[in-house]
Amino acid sequence: MGFYFVVVMALAAFTGSGTSMQDREVTRPPQPLHKQTCGLPPTLQGVTGHVLFQYTVNEAGKVGFAKPVYSFAEPAARETEFVEAMQTCLGAWEYRPALFVGKPYAMELLMAFHFFRPPSFGDPMIEHRGEGQSPRSQLEDMSRHKAKLSMQLLAGPKYTELEGDAWVLRTDVGVAVREKAVGAIQFAQNVYGTLFPESPCTAGAQKVTLFLFGDQEEFNRISAFDNIQQQRWAAPGQYQPVEAIGYTVAGKRPMRLTAEALTEVVTHHLVQHCLIGREAERPFWVTQGIASFTARLRPPRKGEIDLSRFQYGNQVEGGYRWISPSTRLLETLEDRDRAGKMPDLADFLSDRWKEMDAELAEGLSWVMVHYLVNAEGGRHLPVFRTWLKVSASASDPGVPITQALGKTAAQLQVELRSYRDHLRSAR
């Protein structure tokens, strides 16, 4: 049996100057013209390993420089050969160069190559949300090396590790940001406890390990390294339920956005491990909707959590200004509805979809959960709790949420449209 390998191009992560692509307003990132498959040469057959390269695509579209920023091979004595083989293959790739204000521009990218051992007989396959599947052993191997790379990136005098009752935080941010981060984690726990008091995280539940990077480029490397479990879209945070590990970044963005990303990652963990079960698979809207709902809530005043109030409109922190994610989500839903581009609700709720605009998918999920928690004085919340508990304990997904609510998908779609308008007007 041959050895599995995965080659996926990562997003352009940074320019030669170290400034992000978005900051430099690159009008067109490098576009591949020739990319040969980088397999193992005959002399390396049987070697397994991982390597992440940082490389330059120059103004002529050639790969001018490629250096490994993380590598591992087994057997270890073959690591240098393994890295050199991948480096040689990568160096032969050709691109249409990046454009910056209409002129060719040299740009640095990230690329990872992975070669795994064949899965053993009976190794369970893990679904990637309708986008293929991978052997569990392969994902666990990837996760171990992703965590190892994370620790390498965080190593230094700023590294700190904090631990709570359901979490471990590993980070290189300063004290003030750390305190805000811990507050965001505790907020996620408090909201979860309020939403699902009958499904607490027990003392034996697996803790989530959170990697919070102070530097955007550190997070870019982590995102590029894991090109197997690709998310459907770019996000400021990642969560891997199999290994209970989350990743996010502080960078130079407002702390409130970092707090929201942490809250979302922690909520994903609480829902997956404490509510529906580590091995269970629920529709996208359930986990993402609860996570988005929690992250978008307004910070509590005097310790009281208001499940109906959310961040809305223009936001300001220091010298930063941005539009709240809740506002963007509601506007996206209105725009798609007006254009007649809303998906079939029954298909969406049962996860029978693959391609969808990022904000449309998140917006539908968020409004759905907000409706279940708050509509009609919260009368749907007990039904939602019961539905989650029953469907999580069964070997099959159970009845659709529409059936649990006693509604058809068409009826629920009308009510969700009305509730969306209510959220816009009641802001």
Whether the per-residue pLDDT at 382 is higher than 90: the answer is yes
pLDDT-derived band at 48 (thresholds 50, 70, 90) equals very high
CB atoms within 10 A of CB 317: 12
Whether the per-residue pLDDT at 105 is higher than 60: the answer is yes
Q: Mean pLDDT for the chain?
A: 86
Q: CB within 8 A of 305, min separation 6: which ones?
A: 190, 191, 194, 297
CATH 3.40.30.160 residue window(s) in the chain: 135-280
pLDDT for 333 equals 96
Secondary element (H or E) of residue 172 = none
Amino acid at 2: G
Tokens of 148: 């190892």
Chain segment 385-411, per-residue pLDDT in tens: 999 887 654 445 568 899 999 999 999
pLDDT for 272 equals 86
Q: What is the mean pLDDT of residues 63-82?
A: 95
Asked: is 135-280 a CATH 3.40.30.160 domain? The reply is yes
Chain segment 226-278, per-residue pLDDT in tens: 877 655 444 567 887 778 899 999 988 899 999 999 999 999 999 988 887 75
Half-sphere exposure of 208 (CA within 13 A, CB side): 30
pLDDT for 297 equals 95
Q: What is the mean pLDDT of residues 122-144?
A: 78
pLDDT-derived band at 129 (thresholds 50, 70, 90) equals low
Chain segment 170-185, per-residue pLDDT in tens: 999 999 999 999 999 9
Whether the per-residue pLDDT at 57 is higher than 80: the answer is yes
Range with lowest mean pLDDT among 1-10, 62-71, 273-282, 380-389: 1-10
What is the model's pTM?
Answer: 0.87
- β pairing state of 48-57 and 107-116: antiparallel
CATH 3.30.2420.10 residue window(s) in the chain: 4-118
pLDDT for 362 equals 93
Contact 109, 14 (CB under 8 A): no
pLDDT-derived band at 427 (thresholds 50, 70, 90) equals low
Cα(148)–Cα(221) distance, integer angstroms: 12
Contact 29, 107 (CB under 8 A): yes
Nearest 5°: phi and psi at 235? -145, 155
Chain segment 297-348, per-residue pLDDT in tens: 998 877 789 999 999 999 999 889 999 999 999 999 999 999 999 999 999 9
Residue 164: burial class (beta carbons within 10 Å; 0-12, 13-18, 19+): middle
Domain 4-118 in CATH: superfamily?
TonB (3.30.2420.10)
Cα(22)–Cα(18) distance, integer angstroms: 12
